[in-house]
Structure formats: structure tokens, C-alpha cells
Copies of this chain bind each other. A is one copy, B any other.
Amino acid sequence: MSARSPQEVAHLAADTMWANDPTSRELGMELVEIAPGRAVLAMTVAPHMTNGHDTAHGGFLFTLADSAFAFACNSYGDTTVAAHCSITFVRPGRRGDRLVATAQEVSRSGRSGIYDVTIAREGVTIALFRGHSRTIGGSFIAPAENAPQSSDSEAS
């Protein structure tokens, strides 16, 4: 019998998501850390992500935070989507900044979860994001090889 640990599930979930998410890869995002309920992504602000003032377009900051949120809320291996997100822009991001988005679960109850994401540049907060997730399906990762067949069919 080889039940997976929560950390193994989180890694598998991240691998599966990464393979299916060309957007995050094309934007140059990098998965720095993954754990149950937590994900850290990094991205450098490319010239094409800025507007006329060389400040990062809010859409890219949102996309970075949203991706970190997605990795964190899917880290249990069950299909989970964003229902509602809010973002506050605290300071502008600049061309060339390496931004780090840290997503941390703050609540999970039934099928609903809340995740806080902080985007920082060298430790200084650029933006704060709060995401509300909704689990809509069962496991999206391959079952463990010698797991009993019924093991993930009882998804709530």
C-alpha cells in the first residue's frame, strides 16, 4: 500500500497543472515552492508587460497572483476554480523587477476556500490579492499505482 503524503499530492498536482498551463510558462513564471495550501511563483517584468510609463500592466500582476492562487488551491489534487478575486495595487511594478507571488490558504470549509497572495519585489509588497475558490470536481491527478480502485471515486 502506498498512500501519497499531502506533500506528494501537492507536487503531482503542480506538475499536472504546469503541463496544462501554457500561459504561465510563456509569461516566464517559475514555480519556486509548492506545499498543501501554498504556492510561490516568480516572474520577471518583461518589456512587453509594461505600459507607456514602464510600469507593469495590472493584468500581468493579476495573472501572476491568480496563477499562484490556482497552484495553491489545487494542491490537494481536486479540481478547483477561482470564483471571486480582488487585488489592490500598492506600488507600481517596474520593467525588469523580479516579482515573487506567495499564495497561502487562510480558510477552507466544504468546497470553498480563501487564499491570500502577496506580490513582492525584494521583500517590498507591490500588490495584495485575495482569491475565493470553489472545488467543482474530483481528483485530477493520476491515481497511485497500487491504490484501491475506489479510492478517489467518493469525491464529495
Q: Which residues of A contact B (CB under 8 A)?
A: 19-23, 26, 48-49, 51-53, 57-60, 62-63, 66-67, 81-91, 106-107, 109, 112, 114, 116, 118, 125, 128, 130, 132
Contact = CB atoms under 8 A, between A and B. Distances in A.
Q: How many copies does the complex hold?
A: 4
A84 B91 contact: no
27 contacts: A20-B51, A21-B52, A21-B57, A22-B48, A23-B48, A23-B49, A23-B51, A23-B59, A26-B48, A57-B66, A58-B66, A58-B82, A59-B59, A59-B60, A59-B62, A59-B66, A62-B66, A63-B63, A84-B87, A85-B87, A86-B130, A88-B114, A90-B107, A90-B114, A91-B109, A106-B118, A130-B130
Nearest to A87: B85
A91 to B, nearest CB: 6
Contacts of A81: 89
